[in-house]
Amino acid sequence: MPVTDTLPHIKHQLRTFGTLWVDGANSEGASLGRRRSLALLVIAAVDANRGANRDTLVSLLWPDSSIDRAASSFRQTLFALRKDLGTEAILLDGGTVRLNPDRFDVDVWRFLASAAESRFEIAADVYSGPFMEGFGISGLPGFARWAEDQRETLQRRAEAVFLELARRAAAEERRADAVAHWRRVVTLDRLSGRYAMGLLRALVENGERTSALSFARDYQALVRSELDTELDTDVADYVQHLRANRIAVSAPHVPRDAAPVPTRRWP
């Protein structure tokens, strides 16, 4: 018996940055308590234009099942999701599964669209943590690799967004804002010497010499612990001069080779 769409025409909220969750009509349905169901939803959601191919979904989520059994599991999972979220929320067309943008609000969509349209403040607000942080399914190495690839790609774009915000804040002499943006950059790559230098310079420019020294101590301890090495020469020299109080105030540093913000447009 086909599923009829009796749910209200509302938008479901799908959040993938940080903790994975879905909100909306009947979002407490049984299907959304199953990890494979959530994984299918997210895989279909990431590329808003193309969705996800059925064969890709089956290979990622049921790799050890026979062809017939995997196909059956896929159909059952999709049926349950459409029952809980509405048949019009999840579209199936020629073997491609997509989320209906009229029925879903997905944070990845808003993040990528905002970054592409140079609305960096909005993009920064949307990016609230690593993609699907802490979410995994045992026994599915292909899905784990897919999730990690997505996480790294989105993190690089987030770095570009925060770097651009830091650059703009520095140019407009909004020094406290520059510090805030640099702090977010550093959280994305805690071991980067370039990013550590950027935050150090921003703190000094904002008159926060004590905070800069505190960060330098923490960063040095982290590098020693994680990499079993000492600070990069440039960072070490800067910190040495800072401790000797010989640092002249200058514009906060933004690496010249920082990744550009993507310009692709997304719906």
For residue 131, report the phi and psi dihedrals to the nearest 5 degrees: -60, 125
Q: Mind listing the domains of the chain with CATH numbers?
A: 1-157 (no CATH), 173-243 (1.25.40)
What's residue 2's pLDDT?
46
Query: What's the pLDDT score for residue 257?
Result: 52
Q: What is the DSSP letter of 261?
A: P
Strand partners, 93: 96
- In contact, 181 and 158? CB cutoff 8 Å: no
Question: What CA–CA distance (Å, rounded) separates 191 from 219?
Answer: 8
pLDDT given for residue 26 in this prediction: 43
> Distance between CA 28 and CA 30 in Å, rounded?
7
> In this structure, what token pair is assigned to residue 11?
């938008």
Report pLDDT for 151.
97
- Degrees, nearest 5: CA angle 140-143-147: 140
Q: Mean pLDDT of successive 10-residue segments in the chain (267 residues)?
A: 50 92 62 86 93 95 95 95 91 93 95 97 96 94 97 97 97 97 96 96 95 96 94 92 74 50 38
pTM: 0.83
SS (H, E, C) 91-114: EEECCEEEECCCCEEEHHHHHHHH
Res 212: pLDDT = 95
Predicted local confidence at residue 120, as pLDDT = 97
Handedness of CA 162, 165, 171, 177 (dihedral sign): negative
* Partners of 52 in beta bridges: 97
13 three-state secondary structure: strand
Please give the pLDDT value at position 264: 37
